[in-house]
Amino acid sequence: MASYLQLFQTPKPLTHFNRFSSTSSRLPASVRCSASVVPPSKRSYSITLLPGDGIGPEVISVAKDVLVLAGSVEGITFEFREMLLGGAALDATGVPMPDETLSVSKQSDAVLLGAIGGYKWDNNEKHLKPETGLLQIRSGLQVFANLRPATVFPQLVDASTLKREVAEGVDLMVVRELTGGIYFGKPRGFRTDENGEEAGFNTEIYSQHEIDRIARLAFETARKRRGKLCSVDKANVLEASMLWRKIVTELAQEYPDVELSHMYVDNAAMQLIRYPKQFDTILTNNIFGDILSDEASMITGSIGMLPSASIGASGPGLFEPIHGSAPDIAGQDKANPFATVLSAAMLLKYGLGEERAAERIEKAVLDTLNRGFRTADIYSAGTKLVGCKQIGEEILKSVESHIPTAAV
């Protein structure tokens, strides 16, 4: 694999998409992806594709085509390997994440995921649910930090369910801890309680080093954005949150240029709807980040517009749209591929250090929106309602025809 990518180097001005992290494309030294600061001779990369379930294969197909074309324009080649994960893996192998999937993913330069899950497997035992495969791939790749931008694009401000004056100009980043907390904590399981009733239990647990490393990343992210960090917890009730707040507060002394605030999660959920522009960078744990980032996505008009990057201390990053598998529209050419295409751009920028190609894709998405093409979830009067495949074709036209990107 190539040498490590450090994020958070101040970038040259790009398009509106630079507001994803305001954004530098480099992480602090403690958080790195595999194929970074790549020597000029390294222009070929291995990408593991995990289409998954539902609309996953449809949106991954579009993103792959966009990656190939943007790469060819910029002198980059890709070797793709498609592997099973989630329900597709269950049907083919009996497990939600085959060992081969993790092995191939670890050997690649980056991993691009579509979506997993579906009604078909809802009644499976927990270890045989598609979602278990998603947790396993995150844990196996040791990607502990999830970056989820929520930006309201001017072209889509009227697609938001909030009033224009509330939604316009929203630009925030949720930094979510990804491999700890209640989703992974032990003990967990089922038992019979003292009354003879069946009970289910989970453990919300965080160690000092888990909090420290995600908090440092959040401070660095805020430092490269607008210098404001809001740490979200439930420290008035939960001991794990009490430790979280203590460590984050102590760490703030190392970042005097970042304005730190704390907010309880219930208030944060309310404030995201009441006045979302107050937020710049949000730091939170696994379960709170899962919920709040989905809430934030709806401010933008559709969950189908938002990408994410999951990164760790070493090895390949995992890049995926934040939407689900949408089995109700799977196979009908109704899926919105923008989030997956933008996840591919994040893969190029954060995972491979290929900012020119990433910028080309970002500009192509903007150009496609500017030309009025919309899927049903972001459609409004006066725009052109098209399917997933045509959105992909229009993005490809923009990638190929767009003016050359600036040197990085």
Residue 233: active-site member: no
Which candidate in 65, 233, 290, 367 is catalytic? 290
- Cα within 13 Å of Cα(387), Cβ side: 9
Task: DSSP for 169-199, please give it.
Answer: T-EEEEEEE-SSGGGT-SS-EEEE-TTS-EE
Which of these, 244, 273, 269, 220, lies nearest to 31 by C-alpha position? 220
Strands (E) across 7-108 are located at 32-33, 44-52, 77-82
- At residue 211, the 3 state secondary structure works out as helix
One-letter amino acid identity for 312? G
Quote the tokens at residue 134.
């998603």
Which of these, 282, 287, 337, 340, lies nearest to 309 by C-alpha position? 340
Residue 234: active-site member: yes
Residue 275: active-site member: no
List C-alpha distances in Å: 15 to 12, 134, 227, 365, 405: 10, 32, 20, 11, 10
Which candidate in 158, 212, 294, 333 is catalytic? 294
Specify the pLDDT at position 403. 52
Using alpha carbons only, how large is the chain's radius of gyration in Å?
20
From its phi and psi, is residue 10 left (phi > 0), alpha (psi between -120 and 50) or beta?
A: beta
Rounded CA gap, 74 and 142, in Å?
30
Name 99's Cβ contacts closer than 8 Å, sequence gap at least 6.
none
Which candidate in 224, 234, 349, 363 is catalytic? 234
Rounded CA gap, 355 and 137, in Å?
26
Quote the tokens at residue 395.
């993005």
Which candidate in 99, 266, 328, 384 is catalytic? 266
408 residues of the chain, pLDDT tens digit each? 332 233 433 333 223 333 333 334 445 444 445 444 444 445 899 999 999 999 999 999 999 999 999 999 999 999 999 999 999 999 999 999 999 999 999 999 999 999 999 999 999 999 999 999 999 999 999 999 999 999 999 999 988 889 999 999 999 999 999 999 999 999 999 999 999 999 999 999 999 999 999 999 999 999 999 999 999 999 999 999 999 999 999 999 999 999 999 999 999 999 999 999 999 999 999 999 999 998 998 898 888 899 999 999 899 999 999 999 999 999 999 999 999 999 999 999 989 999 999 999 999 999 999 999 999 999 989 999 999 999 999 999 999 886 555 443
Residue 290: active-site member: yes
Quote the tokens at residue 203.
């453990």
Residue 206: active-site member: no
H/E segment holding residue 103: helix 99-107
Which of these, 8, 30, 38, lies nearest to 20 by C-alpha position? 8
